Amino acid sequence: MIFGQIKTYAWQAAALALLATALTQTVRLASAKNAHAQTVAAFNAATAKEERQAREQSEKFRDLEGKHRDETDQIRADAQTALAAATADAGRARAAGQRLRGDLAAYIEQHRSAAIARAAAGECTPDTSATTVLADLFRRADDRAGELAAIADEARARGNACQRAYDSARTMSQAAGAH
């Protein structure tokens, strides 16, 4: 009988130990599930925060890109306007030069006619070579000055457009770098 009681106590002790082990494992499992749920929640929160920041950064870059594209388009339009103005100025300068050359040619012709008339009257011999050389030099100098002015105006307009485009790109790059 004692052996039966010991056996019963042994079984009860084993059952209690098994129950304590099961209870401990249940508490550990619940704790692990709770820690897992907290880790998943923290991960999801961090992922959501990163996604939101990435979306905001993407929108910022898209806005910067649109602004830069608009600035570049405006710079291109301004450069075309400046080039058209330079071309028109060069055309007006050529026209003025042609009018001046026409006036000079008329003056030289008048001077020649007067010199020939004086020579015919026996007053002197006509010498128009100096005025012809002077007129030719004036014409060539004026033509070259007009060419150089047109080149300089175009280079200035293109250089200004290039500088403005560079400044716009640098500003966009700096704004993009300052997250």
- 73-104 per-position pLDDT tens digit: 998 999 899 889 888 988 888 888 888 888 87
Kindly state the tokens that stand for 113: 């006619």
Range from 7-21, 65-79, 93-107, 119-133 carrying the lowest mean pLDDT:
119-133
pLDDT at 120: 74
pLDDT at 110: 82
% the chain with pLDDT above 70: 94
Q: Which residue has the higher pLDDT, 49 or 130?
A: 49
84 CB-side CA count, 13 A: 6
pLDDT at 108: 77
Predicted model pTM: 0.57
Could you tell me if 127 and 116 are in contact, meaning their C-beta atoms sit under 8 angstroms apart?
A: no
pLDDT higher than threshold 90 for residue 112 = no
Residue 87 — φ and ψ, nearest 5°? -65, -40
The average pLDDT across 131-160 equals: 84
pLDDT at 178: 66
3-state secondary structure of 124: coil
Q: What are the pLDDT digits (tens) for 29-47?
A: 999 999 999 999 999 999 9
The average pLDDT across 50-65 equals: 91
Residue 27 confidence class, pLDDT cut points 50, 70, 90: very high
